[in-house]
Every structure is written in structure tokens, then in C-alpha cells.
Amino acid sequence: MKEKENEKQEEQKTDNNKERKNEEVKSTPKAPLVEGYETIRIRIKTELMSAEECERLRRITARDTRIIKDYLRIIYHYEERKVHYKGKLKSLIQSNGKVNKSLLDYLTLTTSKKSAETKVRSSVAHDFKKRYPHCSHDEFQECRNKAIWICESWKAQQRTSNKKLSRPQLKEKTPRQLIKGSGSRGTVQVHYDPDNTEAKLLLKLRDTLDSKQCGKRNNPKLKLPLAYSPHHAKKLKIDEIKTAELVYKSREQQWWAHFKKSFSVPSYQSTNPPAVLGVDLGIKKTAVAVVLNHTGKVTMDEIRFIVNKERQATIFRLEKRISSIQEALDTRIKVGHPHNQLNVKLSQLRKRLRSITEQELGFAVNQLVEFILQMKQRYNLFVSIGYPKDIRNGNKHGRVNRSLRIQLHKWCYRLFITKLKFKLHQQGFDSYRVVAVCEEYTSKTCSRCFSTKTTRSSQGRFVCHQCNYELNADLNGARNIAKRLITNVLYPNGKFKKNNILCDYLSGDFHKLKEYGNFYPLGQWLKYSSGNISFL
Ligand SMILES: [Zn+2]
């Protein structure tokens, strides 16, 4: 009997698989793709490098920054001007915002070979090889590509924004994008050595920083040991590495290698009824999420409280200690006593608080993403997250050091939303499906009757005196946040909008959202609820 059952099950499985495959074949040509790239950051173990090597790394980046700046200066210089090139007048920045690479090379680089007859280098308008005589052609190209990338992304942003954006300011250390080569070619090579216990991955960088000064053709390659862990191995296969950037983070005083990995997944489409998942971010609990569908009813498995009590307690304890030390520091400064030790302690604690909060955030985002992936099976899902319009107002009576709290808070919300957006993007969620809406009044308003005659008890219960509705206060907030997205779509002249356009409060990005077509499924809300939206 069992065998027969097994056979039956197997048959069913194969049938299912066949159906699935058929569906896939049918749906693949239609589904648009969601594309993006992920940056995998690996720390460079500078403690394993000699002081000379560290100095060389610093000098390479400093020189690259100068070259990139020079390239940008030239691009900006020719923004409005035209150049005679191959018998035609051409502009350096084309009408589509792209930079003409060969024209830029024509303006800046010569082939270093002297022509046989004259034995003189042909001259160009801006001779980079004169300015940087030790730099190789490959290095120029990589710097040029970075400068072009900076300029083109600025132009692209300019096109979608209605404000006039100022030219991008370069950071003190802007790295160029190193291109991995095979064999002896390319400026960077990757070596994987599983037996090396200290650094399994080694970046070998070829540079010409001072080789010509010393009369050598090439320097020995600069070896950069990376803190490559199993966690990185999961995310990044070594064969996938094509480019690398060496980034210095001044706050941590650490060097990092950034590897980019592109992904493209089919865009999430659904024919299920529409629903909005509201997310309320908070202090005591990290996040509360609730699904609001067209029936207006919520079942228990459509609510998720995300909190890690242990970690929250640690955060709370740290905040308390920081505030007490801060007080002690203030009095010491007033009296005029030495306070260096306290300062050091304080910065250590703050660093720890930051890292723990970041951990907690990552944990919460992962949980929320898991919940959203469950819910997307049932509904045509949109996500609405409350973003504080001005977080300062809410923190006047903070228990701990106020400025720290404000800083941390702003940072938390922003980081949480960006992380969530990115993770969902990787799962095929188009950016318009995740909207940061204004959080104002969502904690004070009743989510059933919109009355503001409400109280919030100390146990986190929310009571409405108009309709006697009673529920968890955070849940009420999350429901209100979900509603805000729906009402904003259904009633175009709503209150919480910027310039009457549904706007993402985090990015200020309302150009994509302006196309209400994206929100078509939400517009169908009325059809599904057969006109009964009194709960809105
Ligand atoms: Zn009410």
C-alpha cells in the first residue's frame, strides 16, 4: 500500500513540476526583469601589511583621486563647449547624458610612441601624460571610467529630479575601479589560497606609482590580504569577481575592498487581490508589520511583531551608561577637571551601541523580508513604511542624551528602510512597491474611525473614545501607515503628500510614483471590496 501511495505522490509531484514548468515557459517572456547590483565589502587586513605597503596603498588612492578630479574638471569645462573632432563639431557630453569616451581620450591622452620621422610626441589639449608621467595607460583608463561614471550618474539624477543639482563633490579619497585581468594582464589579480590561515584571499595590485622614478619597469605587486570569511564565500564566488575598489573609511580608519555583483530577477507580478503591508518602526520594539486587505479584517497570522528582547535590553543599558558618563563629563568640563579618559570611554561605548543597533537592524530586516515573502503569495502586495517627517519633535523628553538619540534614530530609520528596499529589490520587488510614507499622527489617530480623541496607556494599549476601539498601540500605528498609502492612491488630494503627489518621504522620489499606473492594483481596491471601504 505504502509503495502505491508513494508512487501516487511521485506522480503528483511530477505533474506539479510539469505544470510549474509550463507556467514558467508561459510567464518568462512577459515578466520584466528587476536589475541591480550588490556590493560585497571585505576588510583589508592592514595589520598584516608593512608600513611601507600601507603607505603605498594610501599614495595610490591619493594619486587616483587627483586624476579623477582632473578628468571631471575637463568634462565640466567642455560641458557647454564643442570640440573639433574627426572633421566635425562634437560635444563631450552627448544629449543622452553619456560621455563620449573616445573624444575624452582625444583631449587628454596621446599614444606615447614618438612618430618615427619627427621624434616628437603629438600634443593634445590637456596632456595627462605630462601631468602624471609615471602613470600607465591602464591606470588612466580606470580613472577615466570612474570619472565618467560619476558624471553620468549625476546627469541621470539630474534628469529625474526637478531641482537643479550641484556638481558632485568628490570625497577626500575616491578610488578608481580596478579591473581584474587574467594572467599577467589587468591591474588587479585575485589569489585564493585555502591553506593560508591568516588571509585566504589575496588581491595583487600592479601599479606604476614610482617604478619609473627608480628606473624599474614595474614595482613588485602590492599584496593586499583580505578578511575573507565563509560568510563572504556564500555571497561571492571568486570567479564572479570582475572589478574591485579600494575604499578607505575614515571613521573606522580601515581599508575595504568593494566587489560588485550584478543580479537580475523576474519582476514580482501577481493577480491576487491587492493588499498593503504597513510597517511601524519604533524604539521599544524594532518593527510591527500588519497586512491590510480589501476586507478590512486582519487575521492573527497577518501580524508580525519583530523584537529581540535581549538585544533591546543591551541597547537600553548602553544608552543609560552613555548618558550617565555624558553627565559626568559635562560636570567635569564645567569644573575644569581633566576628562580625556571619559571622552575615550564615551566614544568606545557609542561605537558599540552603533554596532549593536546595526546588528539588531539587520536581524529585523531579515525577519520582515521573510514575512513579506510569505504574504506576497496571498496578495498583490505593496509595502508602506512610516518615515518620521521631523524626528526632533518626538524626542523632546528623551530619557537619554538627546542629541545622540536623535542622531541614532534618524540613522536607524533611514538604514532600515534602505536595507529593506534593497532586500526586496533582490526578490523582484520593483521600487514603487515599497513606499516610505509620512508617519505624522499615525500613533495618535484611531485606525478604525480616524478620531484623534484617543489615549495610549502605559502598557501600550490604544483606546479610542469615539468608537471604543481597543488594540495594541503599535499595531494601530502600523494599520494607519498602511492606510495612508491606500488613501493617498485612492484620493489624490490627500493631506500627507508633497505637492499633491504621492511621494516617497525617504528619497523624495516622486517621479516614478507620479505614474499612478504603477498603483493600478491598489486602484482596484474598490472593485474587490465592492465599493465598501468605510474602514478606510
Ligand atoms: Zn475610533
470 part of a folded domain: yes
Does pLDDT of 520 surpass 90?
no
463 Cα: distance to centroid of ligand 1 (angstroms) = 8
Please tell me which residue, 113 or 339, carries the higher pLDDT value: 339
80 Cα: distance to centroid of ligand 1 (angstroms) = 60
198 part of a folded domain: yes
Does pLDDT of 369 surpass 90?
yes
439 Cα: distance to centroid of ligand 1 (angstroms) = 18
Last residue of a domain, one of 265, 289, 320: 265
| Reported confidence tier of residue 28, pLDDT bands at 50, 70, 90 | very low
Q: What is the average per-residue pLDDT within 349-358?
A: 86
165 part of a folded domain: no
| Residue 175, C-alpha cell as written in the block | 578610488
Asked if residues 257 and 246 have their Cβ atoms less than 8 Å apart, the reply is yes
504 Cα: distance to centroid of ligand 1 (angstroms) = 27
SS3 for 391-447 is: CCHHHCCCCCCHHHHHHHHHHHHHHHHHHHHHHHHHCCCCHHHEEEEECCCCCCCCC
77 Cα: distance to centroid of ligand 1 (angstroms) = 62
453 Cα: distance to centroid of ligand 1 (angstroms) = 8
Q: Are residues 369 and 490 in the same domain?
A: yes
Give residue-wise pLDDT tens across range 266-308: 888 888 888 889 998 876 677 899 998 877 777 888 899 988 8
Q: Are residues 486 and 427 in the same domain?
A: yes
379 part of a folded domain: yes
451 Cα: distance to centroid of ligand 1 (angstroms) = 5
494 Cα: distance to centroid of ligand 1 (angstroms) = 20
Q: 69-78, 150-159, 515-524, 526-535: which range is least confident on average?
A: 526-535
Give residue-wise pLDDT tens across range 479-500: 888 888 877 776 655 555 544 4
Does pLDDT of 134 surpass 60?
yes
Residues bordering ligand 1, an ion, CB closer than 5 Å = 446, 448-449, 451, 464, 466-467, 469
- Alpha carbon 167 to its chain centroid, in Å, reads 21
Q: Are residues 155 and 228 in the same domain?
A: no
19 part of a folded domain: no
Q: Which pLDDT does position 24 carry in this prediction?
A: 47
Q: Are residues 465 and 510 in the same domain?
A: yes
Q: DSSP character for 39?
A: E
Domain count, the chain: 3
Q: What is the average per-residue pLDDT within 114-140?
A: 74
Q: Are residues 139 and 188 in the same domain?
A: no
Q: Are residues 379 and 298 in the same domain?
A: yes
444 Cα: distance to centroid of ligand 1 (angstroms) = 11
Q: Are residues 56 and 42 in the same domain?
A: no
Residue 65 belongs to what domain range? 51-112+124-160
433 Cα: distance to centroid of ligand 1 (angstroms) = 29
527 Cα: distance to centroid of ligand 1 (angstroms) = 25
Mean pLDDT value across the chain: 78
Q: Are residues 367 and 473 in the same domain?
A: yes
491 Cα: distance to centroid of ligand 1 (angstroms) = 21
Indicate the Cα dihedral angle 386, 387, 389, 393, nearest 10°: 80
Question: Do the strands 380-387 and 434-438 form a parallel or antiparallel pair, or are they unpaired?
Answer: parallel
Give residue-wise pLDDT tens across range 169-189: 887 788 888 888 766 667 888
Query: Which residues on neighbouring strands pair with residue 258, listed in sequence order?
Result: 41, 245
440 part of a folded domain: yes
Q: Are residues 258 and 296 in the same domain?
A: no
416 Cα: distance to centroid of ligand 1 (angstroms) = 30
448 Cα: distance to centroid of ligand 1 (angstroms) = 5
28 Cα: distance to centroid of ligand 1 (angstroms) = 46
372 Cα: distance to centroid of ligand 1 (angstroms) = 28
The CATH number linked to 476 is 3.30.420.140
Q: Are residues 300 and 372 in the same domain?
A: yes
Task: Give the integer Cα–Cα distance in Å for 478 and 386.
Answer: 8
498 Cα: distance to centroid of ligand 1 (angstroms) = 27
Last residue of a domain, one of 160, 186, 219: 160
393 Cα: distance to centroid of ligand 1 (angstroms) = 25
- HSE toward the beta carbon, residue 257, CA cutoff 13 A: 30
169 Cα: distance to centroid of ligand 1 (angstroms) = 50
450 Cα: distance to centroid of ligand 1 (angstroms) = 6
Task: Give the integer Cα–Cα distance in Å for 108 and 106.
Answer: 6
b/e sequence 307-346, b meaning 16+ C-beta within 10 Å: bbeebbebbeebbebbbebbeebeeeeeeeeebeebeeeb
22 part of a folded domain: no
Last residue of a domain, one of 265, 287, 314: 265
Q: 255 φ, ψ to 5°?
A: -100, 140
511 part of a folded domain: yes
Q: Are residues 238 and 383 in the same domain?
A: no
141 Cα: distance to centroid of ligand 1 (angstroms) = 64
Q: Which pLDDT does position 232 carry in this prediction?
A: 87
Q: Are residues 382 and 517 in the same domain?
A: yes
